[in-house]
Chain A
Amino acid sequence: DIVMTQAPLSVSVTPGESASISCRSSKSLLHSNGITYVYWYLQKPGKSPQLLIYRMSNLASGVPDRFSGSGSETDFTLKISRVEAEDVGIYYCGQLLENPPTFGGGTKLELK
């Protein structure tokens, strides 16, 4: 199985500042079709996960453009510009390149 490793475990951010979360995969997530199959999800407190970023850098519908995704074949970053109170929760990366789909352990974002 592809292992997804996230860092840090938690991050504390002052509202209005930016935050970055890292994710590393145990093998390349770049498909021969040129698509990198890494995804980012946010689980707000008491809610179900929601998709933020698909295929490494594409913003999901309805997601503010303060969120952005980038990376290489095995190293990925989610950046949140101008953090707001509604951004609090647990962020997960995941891969859909191979079965079984796998997820990182999560990064908890809190406000200072």
Chain B
Amino acid sequence: EVQLVESGGGLVQPGASLKLSCVASGFTFSDYWMSWVRQTPGKTMEWIGDIKYDGSYTNYAPSLKNRFTISRDNAKSTLYLQMSNVRSEDTATYYCTSLRHTTAYWGQGTLVTVSS
């Protein structure tokens, strides 16, 4: 069974940093481009960025490029999202997903709430 399990969300103060993780199982993680997508409380979906299967290349949404960093550890089948200088508008549920593949797996999401 394919599973993507995100963790690391929670309540954080504006300006803080946070690192999300996504552990994959049930498929060959190292064969897949992986993405992060977030969904705001109003249900708007926003692509954050993605990373090539070997970790050698990343793409980011231009508005987030300077604050968010995506990485991966294929030996641990884990995807990461490093968030820095978070703002209230970053409040959302964050999903890891193999978005670009015809077998587009999605995790259950982890909620990040930015508030003082």
A residues near B (Cβ < 8 Å) are: 39, 47-51, 54-55, 58, 60-61, 90, 92, 94, 96, 99-103, 105-106
Shortest CB–CB separation between residue B5 and chain A, in angstroms?
11
Q: Check A103 against B45 for contact (C-beta < 8 Å).
A: yes
Complex partner residue of B59 from A47, A49, A51, A99, CB under 8 angstroms? A99
Shortest CB–CB separation between residue A110 and chain B, in angstroms?
15
Of the stretches B11-19, B71-79, B80-88, B95-103, the one at the interface is B95-103
Complex partner residue of B103 from A47, A49, A61, A100, CB under 8 angstroms? A61
Q: Check A100 against B47 for contact (C-beta < 8 Å).
A: yes
Q: Check B100 against A48 for contact (C-beta < 8 Å).
A: no
Per the CB 8 Å criterion, the residue count for chain B at the interface is 20
B residues near A (Cβ < 8 Å) are: 35, 43-47, 59, 61-62, 95, 97, 99-100, 102-104, 106-109
Q: Check A54 against B47 for contact (C-beta < 8 Å).
A: no
| Leading 9 A-B pairs by shortest Cβ distance | A103-B45, A51-B104, A101-B47, A48-B106, A100-B61, A54-B102, A100-B47, A48-B108, A49-B106
Q: Check B43 against A90 for contact (C-beta < 8 Å).
A: yes
> Measured between alpha carbons, how far is A48 from B22 in the docked complex, in Å?
14
